[in-house]
Structure 1
Amino acid sequence: MSAEKRSQLMGRIRSKDTGPERIVAAMLRVHRFKFEQHARDLPGRPDFVFRSRHLVILVDGDFWHGWRFPAWQHKLAPFWREKIAANRARDLRNIRRLRRSGWIVVRVWEHQLRRSVPAVRERLLDALRASAPGRARTARPC
């Protein structure tokens, strides 16, 4: 594939309003949660922000954010291996910065939505209920 053709294809890949993000947004709206999307003032511009609950939801694509990256990185050209490794390092840095600032971070992977939207919905609802304003906040893993 030529560099020009690859550039055209890559240019069509969205970074906002992706299919997985739309699924999560729809399930949150059904339950009437109010949220911000892609808040510029927070590290990594989280996909969904619930300021009063101090909770963010990150919706990550398996390829771009390197789900199980060590298992398949050897199949990639050096450029892509470095690109995804840098994405993973940036994600980790942003998650740490958010947590240090007191945010609860919930990470949803693309494959989790493909496997079971109801399971993801329950996980998000549990996190949102537990972080309701006025409740004591405890750190939880991604």
Structure 2
Amino acid sequence: MDVLTSEQRSRNMAAIKGVNTRPELVVRRMLHSRGFRFRLHRKDLPGRPDIVLPKYKSVVFVNGCFWHQHAGCKFAGKPISREEYWNSKLARNMARDADNISKLTELGWRVIVVWECELRDADTVATRLANCLKQCA
């Protein structure tokens, strides 16, 4: 049973942003401070990647652990209420992610996924991103 009224829950869910989220801004700052230049949310690419680095033919998705169901992550728990709804919604998100990654790979793009929980150790993520991108150069 939800502790919030339906109006409160609706307002809460409506406030969740899809772009320019805090984890996304952290990754953008990381890349920019290391000299990488990028574009944001290109609509002409499958899945509208969060960060696009055309020079490196690479895209970065910054995924929330809950919304994209990060396997084995403690932040990827499923809600207790309306289980059927949430199970199907989160399964659709995961299927859409896999489809978009597949399409981008077929188009010749390198896909890098950064999970929200990984940003707790930002230095490791920054090093991983830099290494991946430098291999492309």
Q: Same fold (TM over 0.5)?
A: yes
> What secondary structure is seen at the aligned counterpart in 1 of 2:40?
coil
Task: After TM superposition, give the deviation of residue 75 of structure 1 in Å.
Answer: 4.4
The structure 1 residue matched to 2:111, chosen from 105, 112, 116, is 105
1:124 to 2:124 alignment: no
Match of 2:91 in 1: 85
The normalised TM-score by structure 1 is: 0.86
Q: Please, which runs of 5 or more residues in structure 2 have no aligned partner?
A: none
Gaps in structure 1 of 5+ consecutive residues: 133-142
CA distance in 2, matches of 1:54, 1:75: 41
State the alpha-carbon separation in 1 of the partners of residues 32 and 111 from structure 2.
19
Runs of 4+ in 1 over 6 A off after TM superposition: none
Deviation of 1:113 (Å): 0.6
How far is the alpha carbon of 1:72 from its aligned partner? 4.3
Code of the residue aligned with 2:118 in structure 1: it is: Q
**Percent of aligned positions that are identical:** 40
What's the TM-score once normalised by structure 2's chain length? Answer: 0.89
Report the CA distance between 1:100 and its aligned residue.
0.6
Residues 47-68 of structure 1: CA deviation (Å, up to 9, x unaligned): 1101121100110000000112
Q: CA deviation at 1:7?
A: 1.2
